[in-house]
């Protein structure tokens, strides 16, 4: 099984801050990585696919990078509506695995 280690588990930042979340895979997954945003009571929403591609309609302040085992998700300027939990997800070898999630709060 491919394991995903996401950090930090929680993060407090101010509006306008640059926020970074990392995800590490237990083995090489190429660029088979998605990033999701989940708000309370809602299904997750895809933000980034294939590690670095912005989903249609998602604000450009969201970005992703990385390949192989190490990946980064960035919000360039935190907005109040970005308060949510963020998950990475790998899709390789006929399976999907999510990271543990990062709960983002406003300082």
Which residues make up the interface to other proteins (CB under 8 A)? 1, 34, 36, 38, 43-44, 46, 49, 87, 89, 91, 94-101
Q: Which is nearer to other proteins, 48 or 75 (CB)?
A: 48
The Cα–Cα gap between 41 and 63 comes to 24
Phi, psi of 80 (to 5 degrees): -55, -35
Helix (H, G, I), strand (E, B) or coil at 56: coil
Tell the smallest beta-carbon distance from residue 45 to other proteins (Å): 8
The least distance separating other proteins from the CB of residue 93, rounded to whole angstroms, comes to 9
Smallest gap, in angstroms, from Cβ of residue 67 to other proteins? Answer: 17
Q: Which is nearer to other proteins, 14 or 56 (CB)?
A: 56
């Amino acid at each position: 099984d491919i394991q995903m280690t996401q950090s930090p588990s929680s993060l407090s930042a101010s509006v306008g801050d640059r926020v970074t979340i990392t995800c590490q895979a237990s083995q090489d997954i190429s660029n088979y990585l998605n990033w999701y945003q989940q708000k309370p009571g809602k299904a997750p929403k895809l933000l980034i696919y294939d590690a670095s591609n912005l989903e249609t309609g998602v604000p450009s302040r969201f970005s992703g990078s990385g390949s192989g085992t190490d990946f980064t998700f960035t919000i360039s300027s935190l907005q109040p509506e970005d308060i949510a939990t963020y998950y990475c997800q790998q899709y390789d070898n006929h399976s999907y695995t999510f990271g543990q999630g990062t709960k983002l709060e406003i300082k």
